Amino acid sequence: MKLRFAPSPTGYLHVGNARVALANWLVARKSGGTFVLRFDDTDTERSKPEYATAIEEDLRWLGLDWDESFAQTERLEAYEAAAARLKADGRLYPCLESEEELRFKREQRQRQGRPPVYDRAALQMTAEQLERAIANGKKPYWRFKLSPRTVEWQDHVLGHRAVKLPPISDPVLIRADGSFLYTFTSVVDDLDTAITGVIRGEDHVTNTGVQIDIMEALGMRPGRIDFAHLPLLTDADGSQLSKRIGSMGLRQLRRDGIEPAALAGYLAALGSSQDPVAGMPAQLVAGFALDKLSKSSARFDPTQLLALNRRYLHGLSFEQVKAQLPEGADEAFWLAVRGNLDLMSEARDWHDIATGAPEIPPQPDQAEFLRAALAALPPAPWDETTWSAWTRALGAASGRKGKALFLPLRLALTGEEHGPELKLFLPLIGRERAEQRLVQAAG
């Protein structure tokens, strides 16, 4: 098997296309096949090398690698050669109509209640007419003559699919300036690089009908390439995925502290009935199969992703995370805070709270209690038993319990109302800082 992921380097990778990349990668790896990264960069105005580099970086972050990679702008000769064949066969024909003319024709057809399909008037043009126009400085663009048929395939996600070609206008494959369009370059690449399967978004279904027709015009045996279309993502409430979420960039998620294993696990389970399990792509290979995916759209819910991220963080060992922790953070720190993190980035905040100088709000109404707490602070060294010994004694002396006992202490020690278990966190603060903070809070 040979699959490819073909992003256009016109922007950063977002969750929608990361899911397509992951699905192709998982299928390729599961079959022991090849995974190709192809940059669809024929739109030279919008494509930028920085984006290609960023896409590679983001894919690696997500845990994906590739066996081959190339950019379409490296293959212009191959497209020229394929175009020459289609021209010789009469399947690619020159057109001269301007945008305005085409719009006028479309509107006319619509007024007559006919579908606004291109009428192929250019096919009536004689060689002399064309030559004269070219001599007058006009440049033709080229359309592919679609077959009068319905293209059918067995989609690996959507099941049997059919696209009727007659109501579709012959697609332009080459612009007047000689540049090639994606519809064509993608077909030539898929054939030349011997791709065996194409997995992409459902928005490409009509495209697939058209592209299969072009592939067969270029000599492909029917059915040689398998197609699978992933149903589109929707918002948590089932409406069309909002721009904000749909364009949620992997860079942003990474900056926010989402772990690649959480994102990969979430994306791999999207649209299936399986509960997402966090894991790097290599760990997800065995559990992934296109036929587990539903034909209907999948909900992308950032709160579920966050919940998965949280569960994942809570289960990580110090060894697994130490490279990501702030300097000086040791295993005791990690075990104290991991159960309290939504995002890895919050570990830094807790580290600052433990060892830095957090803002401690004064609690004038608790002053007496806090002074008593200060006086009762156990001697160093501190360990996991210190907190309970201290608070048990304080409870007995003051008659306080529960929130009345614990909340003023937590606030005084951390400046926060919620946080890690103090049994583990107090030794990280240490006696000296605890003393200062209690004094500060007592005012």
Q: Which residues bind ligand GLU (CB under 6 A)?
A: 6-8, 40, 182, 186, 200, 204
Nearest distance, CB of residue 269 and ligand GLU, angstroms: 22
- The residues facing 82 across adjacent strands are none
Q: Which residues have CB under 8 Å from 318's CB, separation 6+? A: 330, 331, 334, 335
Residue 65 or residue 203: which is nearer to ligand GLU going by CB?
A: 203
Host H or E run for residue 163: strand 159-164
The whole-angstrom separation of Cα 385 and Cα 435 is 18
Which two structure tokens, joined as six digits, stand for 130? 């064309």
The whole-angstrom separation of Cα 418 and Cα 403 is 12
Residue 30 annotated as part of some ligand binding site: no
CB 201 within 8 A of CB 228: no
Residue 218 or residue 372: which is nearer to ligand GLU going by CB?
A: 218
Residue 207 or residue 386: which is nearer to ligand GLU going by CB?
A: 207
Nearest distance, CB of residue 183 and ligand GLU, angstroms: 9
CB 2 within 8 A of CB 194: yes
Alpha helix segments (H runs only) across 219-278: 243-246, 250-256, 260-269
Query: b or e along 13-41 (b: 16 or more beta carbons within 10 Å of the residue's beta carbon)?
Result: bbbbbbbbbbbbbbbbbbeebbbbbbbbb
Cis peptide before 260 (omega within 30 of 0): no
Nearest distance, CB of residue 167 and ligand GLU, angstroms: 22
Distances from the Cα of 167 to the Cαs of 146, 171, 209, 358, in angstroms?
A: 10, 12, 12, 67
The whole-angstrom separation of Cα 65 and Cα 268 is 16
Nearest distance, CB of residue 149 and ligand GLU, angstroms: 22
Q: What angle do CA 74, 77, 78 make, to 5 degrees?
A: 90
How many alpha carbons lie under 13 Å from residue 61 in its C-beta half-sphere?
22
Residue 200 or residue 310: which is nearer to ligand GLU going by CB?
A: 200
The one-character DSSP state at 220 is P
Residue 186 or residue 386: which is nearer to ligand GLU going by CB?
A: 186
Nearest distance, CB of residue 198 and ligand GLU, angstroms: 6
Residue 220 or residue 321: which is nearer to ligand GLU going by CB?
A: 220
Nearest distance, CB of residue 201 and ligand GLU, angstroms: 7
Residue 47 or residue 297: which is nearer to ligand GLU going by CB?
A: 47
The one-letter code for the residue type at 125 is: M
CB 230 within 8 A of CB 204: no
Nearest distance, CB of residue 164 and ligand GLU, angstroms: 21
Nearest distance, CB of residue 233 and ligand GLU, angstroms: 14
| Beta pairing, strands 141-144 & 92-95 | antiparallel
Residue 209 or residue 265: which is nearer to ligand GLU going by CB?
A: 209
| Beta pairing, strands 159-164 & 150-155 | antiparallel
Q: Taking CB positions, which residue lies at the least distance from ligand GLU?
A: 40
Residue ranges of the binding site? 243
Binding residues for ATP, as ranges, are: 243
